[in-house]
Chains A and B, each alone.
Chain A
Amino acid sequence: MQFETIIGLEVHAQLLTESKMFCRCSAGYASADPNTHVCPVCLGLPGALPVINHGAVQATIMTGLALTCSIPEYSKFDRKNYIYPDLMKGYQISQYDLPLCGGGVLPLVIDGKRKDIGITRVHLEEDTARLVHRTANGETYSLVDVNRSGVPLMEIVSEPDMRSPEEARAYLMALRQILRYIGVSTANMEEGAFRCDANVSQRTLDGSVIGPKVEIKNMNSFRSVERALAFEVERQRKALRDGEALVQETRGWVEDQGITVSQRTKEFAHDYRYFPEPDLPPLVLDRAEVDGIQSRMAELPTARRDRFIEQYGLNEREAELLTVEREVADFFEVTVDGDSDRAREASNWITGEIFALMRDSGLELEDVKISPEQIRELIELVGEDTINNRTAKEVLVAVHETGKSPREIVEERGLAQVSDEAQLLAVVRSVVDEHPDAVTDYQNGKKAAIGFLIGQVMRQMRGTANPGVARSLLEQTLAERVTS
């Protein structure tokens, strides 16, 4: 049997709003002590009422626009009823039949080919509290941290358009990139700001066998999504081949064992008893407001990549590297500062030295103490022959370490390039005198020996010699030695 894999993904992304979804508590709880970002509303105390955080609504609409979703004129919140200790009110305020954003598309490039993944809907809801399970004296117990309760959570549901775990991963990476680009979410998966559930099933290419849909939960990284899906694809295919019964169910990924295990079968599926949230008026989405959100939306990664190629003459690889993260692309454009002639150098510096620095130090761009203005200054220093490329790299590291400007460092450390012929000639002559073997090699036709001699000049000059001037003086001196 030839199988085809069908995958659809549900992503929950926490929104980067200042306050929570329905109260004024700060949504930034990451480093807070447990139960310090709480109030009667997010604690679900008797009598408390929700009030919509309009910033979260706008961020969701912006996400919808970025995914080319339709934005209806009318939307509403609903109550999703279930009882669990992390759900303070005994129901979650979510959206059922009238989400903020309707169908859209997320274009992927897979093996150089474009593939569109359909977006079913994007809706807004509130996050739950966090349960912490402990064991003490052989007894297990659970604690509830309510800080996360009521944090705005956006659910992005894809169509079942992915055909492999690799495509699923590519979709998640692209979605994460967009959310970060438009600034609505950190989309940090390890911190729980970006969570993914997958629906996966198998069918034969001729359509004669269609396997049941299985939902996979508990995948906490992009890698675990790919691994869990790969495991599940094999599990399902084997079962279908062997004629074993497959059931529609929810399974959990067990990271350390690399397997999925059954959690809940369809017979025990929840009846969430959705109904319209009576505490909140329906949302009427004014066209002008939606247009305003569209106009405030940052340029999306693919558009920016194409523009970089067009406007700055970069190649695809460079443009891709520079637009993976919005911060990098912004950094690049501030460095270029409207002067396209600077683009090539700026790109080299950022994708070369800055990336290397980030890799080596493990820092994010925002933590690297080098500004685009400083890179621009560095490019100028090289362009005006004040320093050479080699020194420039040294200056860059010094800028990061000291926070001083490149010019300051060049001056302080006497790194300005020496082009003065009289000064350089003295050094050249002493180098020639000290290395007769190399001179002989050169005169015997091993022209490469001049490289060694230039290196010696540089060494004596602590790298500040103008390499062009040094070379021509060396060539001159060696020629004189032959004739004399």
Chain B
Amino acid sequence: MSELINRSAVELRDLLDNGEISAVDVLDAHLARVEAVEASVNAFITITDDVARAQAQAADQRIKNGTAGPMTGIPVGLKDILCTTDAPTTAGSKLLEGYRSPYDATVVKMLREQDALFIGKANTDEFAMGSSTEHSAYQFTSNPWKLDHVPGGSSGGSAAAVSAQEVSVSLGSDTGGSIRQPAGFCGVVGLKPTYGRVSRFGLIAFASSLDQIGPFARSVEDAALLLGAISGKDPNDATSVDTAIPDYRATLGGDLTGVRVGVAEEYQIDGMDSRVEESVKQAIGELEKLGAEIVPISLPHTEHALATYYIIAPAEASANLARFDGVKYGMSLAQDNLLDTYLQTRGKGFGPEVKRRIMLGTYALSSGYYDAYYVQAQKVRTLIKRDFDEAFQNVDVIAAPTSPTVSFQRGARSADPMQMYLSDVFTIPANMAGIPGIAVPCGFADGLPVSLQFMGRAFDEATVLRVAHAYEQNTEWHTSNPPLDAQISTAS
């Protein structure tokens, strides 16, 4: 049964529905894989095999009864920033060590109702703040392609778990690239949906106007499958949007004849890895061969996106993280008086990156600075959005690198936050504009994956998925798995 880990989610779906395998078989295969590689990858903060076992049995019953959903019996990883009732939710922070949510995030509830198999809670940078998952308070997650390299972040655990075949698919959250960048680093598919497509209820907030939950998968079709299962208006999230949800899997297929692919000059920057540049150039050539029309476009405000992001995201975060005060839940370093309790708990509970961003955000919102920073950033954000609106008058998708570099060695950028922030320079604009973006493998550089990004119109994930799928199906990049077994045997 070990070959089941090599199956895609849609293949497992067929095998399960045809009765050729059981959900318990699927679970056993994946738990065996977790057993074999997790000590090296460290993708999960918590393994929830008991939960998954019960779900597998319920899934088999459901399949027998003919009430299976698309995700029934499919092994899933959940970023540990999604609230779950039956496992701790830490957000990668000491401050929430052992915290048990009394409710499920809406996306968790949707998957639970189908009896998807919850394998574990995946590692994340603390409160999703980071681009390497090194800011987790719990553990380092390794990049399955090179174990001493980072998986990207902040959803590094979710990306690594899919790449290492510990799960078929997983959920992450993307505020400035936290799905697409780690998907790129780990050589898997990662999709950030349109802001409002997927409910954020139960996602521990980093930056509320930018956060969006989305899927990781080893194929575009699997990502489409999972996106379909979590999309939709949620009465508990006022920013979720009530709009038609296409059958994403059904829209896949065909070539790219008539599809206009925009390529923006602003997505070539100084300091970019030339191998990434080359891979992306080749990928665009491939798209042309598939019938796409390549259209040069301009997104003139792109260069300001990073700076704007580092005003807006920390500003929102500074308020979102105010509730962690050591009084109500989570870690509490109780002192003789309330102020000291606050100071001790927050001082010791938050890691340095979180504190840095709280300070940045608090400063940007302060009286006398608000207009110069926050208000100005919102204006620029509008301009960035307008750039995209104009571009999408003439193109159907925009192709760009996912990240300017491939994965780097653990610790290589820890000393320089600015270097770390630059990892997200190509992913942040989509968050600022609220549009969907997908990362798909497009090459290798020294054995590390290179990733191509497609961005699309708001709520047009279908086109983004279709173009990504056409590219994927006509290239081989997605078919190779990381040399994990070899690395583990060398190490031991």
**A binding-site residues for B, Cβ under 8 Å:** 40, 43-52, 79, 81, 83, 85, 88-91, 271, 273-275, 278-281
Contact = CB atoms under 8 A, between A and B. Distances in A.
A83 to B, nearest CB: 6
A89 B316 CA distance: 13
Contacts, number: 99
A279 B238 contact: yes
Given A46-B89, A51-B237, 9 more contacts: A40-B101, A44-B328, A51-B235, A83-B322, A89-B319, A90-B323, A91-B322, A273-B366, A275-B365
Nearest to B127: A46
Nearest to B322: A90
A281 B239 contact: yes
Interface stretch (B47-55, B162-170, B200-208): B200-208
18 contacts: A40-B101, A43-B328, A45-B103, A46-B96, A46-B204, A46-B324, A47-B203, A48-B103, A49-B236, A49-B238, A79-B319, A85-B338, A90-B323, A91-B319, A91-B322, A271-B366, A275-B319, A275-B365
A45 B319 CA distance: 14
Contacts of A44: 323, 328
Given A40-B103, A81-B365, A49 B325 contact: no
B105 interface: yes
Nearest to B240: A49
Interface of B: 82-83, 89, 91, 96, 99, 101-103, 105, 200-205, 207-209, 235-239, 315-316, 318-319, 321-325, 327-329, 338, 342, 362, 365-367, 370, 374
Contact of B370 (A46, A51, A275, A280): A275
B82 to A, nearest CB: 8
Contacts of B329: 45-46
A273 B362 contact: yes
Contacts of A49: 200-201, 236-239
A87 B282 CA distance: 55
A106 to B, nearest CB: 31
A85 B82 CA distance: 25
A255 to B, nearest CB: 25
B315 A51 contact: no
Given A52-B238, A90-B319, A91-B319, A47 B102 contact: no
B322 A278 contact: no
A85 B345 CA distance: 14
B186 to A, nearest CB: 25
A47 B365 contact: no
B208 A278 contact: yes
| A-B CB proximity, top 9 nearest | A90-B322, A278-B209, A273-B365, A278-B208, A47-B202, A46-B204, A47-B83, A271-B367, A90-B323
Contact of A90 (B101, B325, B367): B325
A49 B240 CA distance: 11
Nearest to B209: A278
Given A46-B83, A88-B323, A83 B342 contact: yes
A281 B89 CA distance: 28
B247 to A, nearest CB: 27
Nearest to A80: B319
Contacts of B89: 46-47
A387 B83 CA distance: 73
Contacts of B374: 275
A83 B346 CA distance: 12
B83 A81 contact: no
A45 B327 CA distance: 12
A43 B323 CA distance: 10
Contacts of A52: 238
A81 B281 CA distance: 47
Nearest to B102: A40
Given A89-B322, A273-B367, A47 B105 contact: yes
Contacts of B338: 85
B236 A45 contact: no
A162 B189 CA distance: 66
Nearest to B312: A278
A81 B102 contact: no
A91 B82 CA distance: 22
A51 B203 CA distance: 15
Contacts of A46: 83, 89, 91, 96, 99, 101, 204-205, 323-324, 329
